[in-house]
Each structure stands twice: as structure tokens, then as C-alpha cells.
């Protein structure tokens, strides 16, 4: 399907899009259907809505889908909930929080930014203090990227919710879960999230092109007064369009066959919590490996060696590990060698990480075998590129996976 043939199966370790399981690819290989067909509504569309609600953990929220990537869901949430000249607060995390802020400005929204150290992410106490000063409640929404895909830092949403409440601030709480959904713990109702931005091509393992928003009753009430121009993404229009089918145009029915299969796979693994546990286990192996490359059995980091970009251990991302590789051009070299050896990695993006890091995406359809393959290739690439490191990082990962399996067997799993 590409002109260049790479023998064997390339292991895809980008943080999105992610590996698509064969059964998902096959599920969408069906003839076109009339999307108003009741069989489709009852047996494909509505079960998908129910499944998505289980994944975002909401019973009160409504789901609105778009034939668009994550950018579409970002836009939908902004234009449906806000009005021209409203102010929002973007909590800085990195490239993607920046981009969301840029979109808001382009839509005519005023944007304040809470600056952070992107290697650790926001301090909820600072957020609380900033919101407490906004006594006129000019800030209409607090926008947070749950897992900043460009840095591999996951921020604690429950603490952020508490900070908003402690400031007694009524702002809507809008969260981008594009690289955390179905890979990192997320609880819409419990954490009082009003607008959830979700994408399909990461934790949900779908071909790129479907995104959705989950909307709380409080946010739905805000749609009544929102005056920002909108058409395709207009939820109030979508909801009247065809009962149960919230699209302004043709329903991308093939994407729903794929989505139904993705949701079936999640259930067949034991539900979303089992999926999250696997992501945590696989990610922890990656981290142990990278830490060993950097400092071996010592405390001090080896000069010039790889290092996890995230500086707060409690905020390590279970969906992507960003690895700082010192030395001009070294990250690009490692990335290029890796693809030649059969592993596709992510690189740095945005002003903080461009040219400085490689990113291992470990979200979606992965197991120990795929992750050990990735780590083995990256260690080989470090050797070829002459990046200083302690050998044997991969051994640390496989020891960890062995311990985890033994513990699972002992617990009867």
C-alpha cells in the first residue's frame, strides 16, 4: 500500500494515530447502508453511544459526534458553550494546550493563560489563587488538556476540580482527553467535567476521522445563551436533526462499525478499568527502561543520556513517554534509525520539545511483546547513534513485566 516495502510488521509507537487492531479494520469493511435504517440505529449507533458513555464514565452527559479529528471536538466545545468576547482560561501544558488557546482566539474568545513549568504541569493551588481573584467571574471556562501528548505529563483532574470549587468559581470545566481516553483514568461525572473533548484515533484505536464531545447538563444549559457562530458543530441543531443521530450531515456509518468493534474489544478485555491497568503496566515498563538508560543503578543521570521529560513522578503519562535526548540532531537520528529497524516513533513538537525529544506512544492496542519490541529497537538505535546510556534498559522492562505477570497469577488472574 506504500511504494516502499518494509519487511515484517512495523511496530507503530506514535502517540496517535495508534495501531488499529485487525478486527477493527475488518469491522468497517462492509457495504454502504442507509444510515436511517432502524437496524443500524438500534444495533450499531445507539450501542456506540452507550459504550462511549461507559468509557468517559458519565450517566448524565450527552454525546455529540463529529466526522472530524480532535480539532473538530475542540471547536465544537468552544462554539457551543461560549459567546463572542467571553474570556476563558487555558491551563498551559505544552503544544496542544497552546493550540487550543490559539483556536479560541481565532474564534473571537479572549484567552488568559495560566503559565506552568511544562515538565511538571499545573499546580492546582496556583489555579485556585488565580480563580479566587476573578471575583467578577469573567472567566467562563477553565480549559485543561488531561494528558499533554507533546510532553507526556498527565495532570490530576480531581485536584483541579477541587481547586475550582475551593475558589467558589462557576466556570465550566472543559477537558481535552484526546490522548487519555481509554488509556488513563478519567471520570466525567465524578470529577464534574462539563465538556469533554475526545478523539477516536488514539485510545479508541480507530482510523482517524471521528471525534466527539461529552456534555454535562450544566454545559448543555450554557448552549442556550451561546452566540458564537456555528453550523456543522451546532449541537442544538444536531439534536433536532434526526432522532438519536446527532450529525448535521451524512452519518459516517463505517466509522460506527469500527467504533462498535473497538468498544467490544474494550469490554472483552474486562472493561475500561482493565484497559487502564494494562496501559499502566506497559507504561511502567517503558519508564523503568528509560530510567535505566539514563542512570543505570546509580542516582545521578549519565551525561548526554536519555531522560524522561516529565519531572513529576506522580504525573508520568500512561499513554506516552517523552524522552529527552541531549545532543544536536540526536533525537531525529534515533527516530530515523528506529523506523529503519521497524519501529515508528513520535518526535518533539512545539517550542518546548521540537528537536529535543523522541516520544514513545504506548496507548491503544499494545501488549508486552509490542512494547519490548519498541524498547529493543530504541536501545539499538541509541547504540547506533552513539547516544551515551547504560545498556540493559530493556532487561529492566522485561523483569518488571515478569514480576507483574507472576503477581497476577498469584492473585488468580
Residues from 330 through 349 that contact ligand PLP (CB under 6 A): none
Q: Binding-site residue total for ligand PLP (CB under 6 A)?
A: 11
- Compute the least distance from the CB of residue 29 to ligand PLP, in Å: 23
- Compute the least distance from the CB of residue 156 to ligand PLP, in Å: 16
Residue 393 contacts residue 289 (beta carbons within 8 Å): yes
User: Is the Cα torsion angle 270, 272, 274, 278 positive or negative in sign?
Assistant: positive
Exactly one of 75, 92, 176, 185 binds ligand PLP (CB under 6 A); which one? Answer: 176
Q: Which residue's CB atom is positioned nearest to ligand PLP?
A: 70
User: 336 vs 24, 333, 346, CA distance in Å?
Assistant: 29, 5, 10
Residues from 268 through 287 that contact ligand PLP (CB under 6 A): none
Assess 179 for contact with ligand PLP (CB under 6 A). yes
Q: Which stretch binds ligand PLP (CB under 6 A): 21-29, 65-73, 114-122, 132-140?
A: 65-73
DSSP structure class, residue 373: H
Q: Which stretch binds ligand PLP (CB under 6 A): 55-63, 175-183, 261-269, 302-310?
A: 175-183
Beta strands in 349-399 (DSSP E): 357-361
| Terminal alpha carbon distance of the chain | 40
Residue 51 contacts residue 210 (beta carbons within 8 Å): no
Exactly one of 66, 69, 226, 319 binds ligand PLP (CB under 6 A); which one? Answer: 69
- Compute the least distance from the CB of residue 71 to ligand PLP, in Å: 4
Residue 77 is placed in which grid cell?
466545545
Please name the residues in contact with 352: beta carbons below 8 A apart, sequence gap of 6 or more: 94, 95, 118, 150, 151
Assess 178 for contact with ligand PLP (CB under 6 A). yes
Assess 20 for contact with ligand PLP (CB under 6 A). no
Please name the residues in contact with 364: beta carbons below 8 A apart, sequence gap of 6 or more: 18, 19, 183, 202, 203, 204, 205
Q: How many CB atoms lie within 10 A of CB 307?
A: 20
Assess 149 for contact with ligand PLP (CB under 6 A). yes
390 vs 387: CA distance, rounded Å: 10
Residue span 89-128 as binding mask against ligand PLP, x where in contact by CB under 6 A, dash where not: -------x--------------------------------
Assess 183 for contact with ligand PLP (CB under 6 A). no
Nearer to ligand PLP by Cβ, of 179 and 183: the residue is 179
Candidates 208, 221, 142; CA nearest to 178 is: 208
374 vs 362: CA distance, rounded Å: 9
Nearer to ligand PLP by Cβ, of 69 and 366: the residue is 69
Q: Which stretch binds ligand PLP (CB under 6 A): 53-61, 173-181, 187-195, 308-316?
A: 173-181
Assess 70 for contact with ligand PLP (CB under 6 A). yes
Coil, helix or strand for 199? strand
Exactly one of 10, 23, 71, 295 binds ligand PLP (CB under 6 A); which one? Answer: 71
- Compute the least distance from the CB of residue 126 to ligand PLP, in Å: 21
* Residues contributing to the site for ligand PLP (CB under 6 A): 16, 69-71, 96, 145, 149, 176, 178-179, 199
Amino acid at each position: 500500500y506504500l511504494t516502499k516495502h518494509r519487511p515484517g510488521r512495523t511496530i507503530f509507537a506514535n502517540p496517535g494515530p495508534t495501531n488499529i487492531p485487525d478486527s477493527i479494520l475488518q469491522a468497517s469493511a462492509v457495504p454502504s447502508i442507509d444510515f436511517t435504517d432502524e437496524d443500524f440505529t438500534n444495533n450499531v449507533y445507539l450501542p456506540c453511544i452507550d459504550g462511549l458513555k461507559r468509557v468517559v464514565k458519565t450517566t448524565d452527559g450527552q454525546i455529540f459526534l463529529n466526522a472530524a479529528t480532535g480539532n473538530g471536538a475542540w471547536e465544537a466545545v468552544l462554539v457551543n458553550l461560549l459567546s463572542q468576547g467571553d474570556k476563558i482560561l487555558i491551563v498551559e501544558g505544552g503544544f496542544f494546550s497552546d493550540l487550543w488557546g490559539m483556536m479560541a482566539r481565532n474564534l473571537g474568545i479572549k484567552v488568559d493563560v495560566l503559565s506552568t513549568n511544562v515538565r511538571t504541569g499545573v499546580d492546582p493551588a496556583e489555579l485556585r489563587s488565580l480563580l479566587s481573584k476573578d471575583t467578577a467571574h469573567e472567566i467562563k471556562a477553565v480549559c485543561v488538556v488531561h494528558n499533554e501528548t507533546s510532553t507526556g505529563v498527565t495532570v490530576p483532574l480531581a485536584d483541579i476540580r477541587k481547586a475550582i470549587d475551593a475558589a467558589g468559581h462557576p466556570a465550566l470545566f472543559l477537558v481535552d482527553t484526546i490522548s487519555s481516553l481509554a488509556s488513563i483514568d478519567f471520570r466525567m461525572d465524578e470529577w464534574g467535567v462539563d465538556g469533554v473533548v475526545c478523539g477516536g484515533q488514539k485510545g479508541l484505536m480507530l482510523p482517524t476521522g471521528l471525534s466527539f464531545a461529552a456534555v454535562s447538563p450544566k454545559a448543555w444549559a450554557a448552549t442556550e445563551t451561546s452566540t458564537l457562530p456555528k453550523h456543522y458543530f451546532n449541537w442544538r441543531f444536531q439534536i433536532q436533526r434526526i432522532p438519536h443521530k446527532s450529525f448535521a450531515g451524512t452519518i459516517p456509518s463505517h466509522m460506527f462499525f469500527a467504533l462498535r468493534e473497538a468498544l467490544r474489544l474494550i469490554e472483552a478485555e474486562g472493561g475500561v478499568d482493565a484497559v487502564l491497568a494494562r496501559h499502566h503496566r506497559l507504561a511502567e515498563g517503558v519508564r523503568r527502561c528509560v530510567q535505566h538508560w539514563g542512570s543505570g543503578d546509580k542516582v545521578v543521570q549519565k551525561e548526554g543520556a536519555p531522560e524522561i521529560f516529565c519531572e513529576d513522578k506522580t504525573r508520568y503519562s500512561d499513554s506516552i513517554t517523552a524522552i529527552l535526548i541531549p545532543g544536536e540532531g540526536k533525537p531525529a537520528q534515533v527516530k530515523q534509525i528506529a523506523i529503519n529497524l521497524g519501529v515508528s516513533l513520535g518526535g518533539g513538537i512545539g517550542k518546548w520539545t521540537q528537536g529535543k525529544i523522541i516520544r514513545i506512544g504506548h496507548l491503544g492496542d499494545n501488549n508486552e511483546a509490542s512494547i519490548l519490541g519498541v524498547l529493543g529497537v530504541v536501545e539499538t538505535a541509541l547504540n547506533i547513534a552513539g547516544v551515551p546510556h547504560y545498556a540493559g534498559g530493556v532487561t529492566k522492562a522485561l523483569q518488571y513485566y515478569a514480576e507483574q505477570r507472576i503477581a497476577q497469577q498469584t492473585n488468580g488472574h
